[in-house]
């Protein structure tokens, strides 16, 4: 008797990876580079995007935005006011509201994203420092925003998030004079969990340092696609 042994796959994360690769293939075919932008709630992702979209990117890549939120379309409306193609993706049909985007949710939104009209898609993930880091969605690059108002200890408490990004944007530096906060401690903690990771200091509110983030986005838009 012939026997075949089948090992049950790892499940949800394996399935996610398969769909993430399918997303990446679609993005590559359309010549679109994709950034997965993550942070805690209220760290300033949308304000930062508003700033860079207002001021424009070097090389003028055409930018689109996919907004992930549990409910509502507040951020999408803010971005749409800048005449940038924006697609809202709400996670609330699932289980009281999913706390992250996964590859399948992004896939379900793709028919509404005008991939032929853009060069760079920024996916603004749900505000959360845990689960978004666990699900690739087909992105070329991951960046996160952390606000100095959140304290210095966040890299130690949410290491997977800080470790999974190639760029850490430290936002709200205009508040530094008004906080008991040590930038040196934050950067030391960051170095402990993700040695050598790129970081930049800026204030989306005042505009200080925002050009560096615009330059980074433009550089991602100009990249060759990484191997799948």
Which of residues 21, 26, 151, 212 is near a copy of itself by CB under 8 A?
151
CB of 169 to a copy of itself, least distance (A): 15
Query: What is the separation of C-alpha 101 from the centre of its chain, rounded to a whole number of angstroms?
Result: 10
Alpha helices in the chain (DSSP H): 12-29, 45-55, 74-80, 103-109, 154-157, 159-164, 183-193, 210-221
Q: Are strands 141-147 and 167-171 parallel, antiparallel or unpaired?
A: parallel
What's the rounded Cα separation, in Å, for the pair 90 and 69? 5
Residue 95 near a copy of itself by CB under 8 A: yes
Q: Binding segment for a copy of itself among 56-64, 102-110, 113-121, 148-156 (CB under 8 A)?
A: 148-156
CB of 198 to a copy of itself, least distance (A): 21
CB of 158 to a copy of itself, least distance (A): 6
Q: What is the CA radius of gyration of the chain?
A: 18
Helix, strand or coil for residue 69?
strand
CB-nearer residue toward a copy of itself: 24 or 45: 45
CB of 95 to a copy of itself, least distance (A): 7
Judged by the rule CB under 8 A, the positions of this chain that interact with a copy of itself are 40-42, 69-72, 74, 95-99, 126-131, 133-134, 147, 149-151, 153-154, 156-160, 172, 174-175, 178-180, 205
């Amino acid at each position: 008797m012939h026997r075949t042994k089948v090992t049950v796959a790892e499940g949800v994360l394996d399935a996610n990876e398969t769909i993430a690769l399918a997303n990446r293939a679609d993005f590559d075919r359309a010549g679109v580079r994709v950034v997965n932008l993550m942070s805690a709630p209220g760290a300033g992702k949308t304000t930062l995007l508003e700033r860079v979209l207002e001021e424009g990117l070097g090389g003028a890549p055409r930018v689109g935005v996919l907004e992930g939120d549990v409910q509502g379309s507040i951020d999408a409306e803010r971005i749409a006011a800048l005449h940038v193609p924006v697609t809202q993706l709400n996670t609330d049909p699932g289980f009281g509201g999913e706390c992250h985007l996964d590859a399948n949710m992004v896939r379900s939104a793709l028919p509404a994203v005008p991939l032929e009209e853009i060069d760079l898609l920024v996916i603004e993930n749900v505000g959360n420092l845990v689960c978004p880091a666990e699900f690739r969605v087909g992105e070329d690059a991951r960046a996160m925003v952390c606000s100095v108002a959140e304290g210095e200890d966040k890299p130690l408490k949410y290491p997977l998030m800080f470790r999974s990004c190639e760029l850490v944007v430290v936002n709200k530096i205009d508040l530094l004079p008004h906080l008991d906060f040590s930038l040196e401690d934050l950067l030391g903690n960051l170095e402990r969990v993700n040695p050598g990771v790129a970081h930049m200091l800026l204030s989306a509110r005042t505009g200080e340092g925002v050009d560096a983030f615009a330059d980074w986005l433009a550089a991602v838009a100009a990249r060759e696609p990484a191997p799948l």
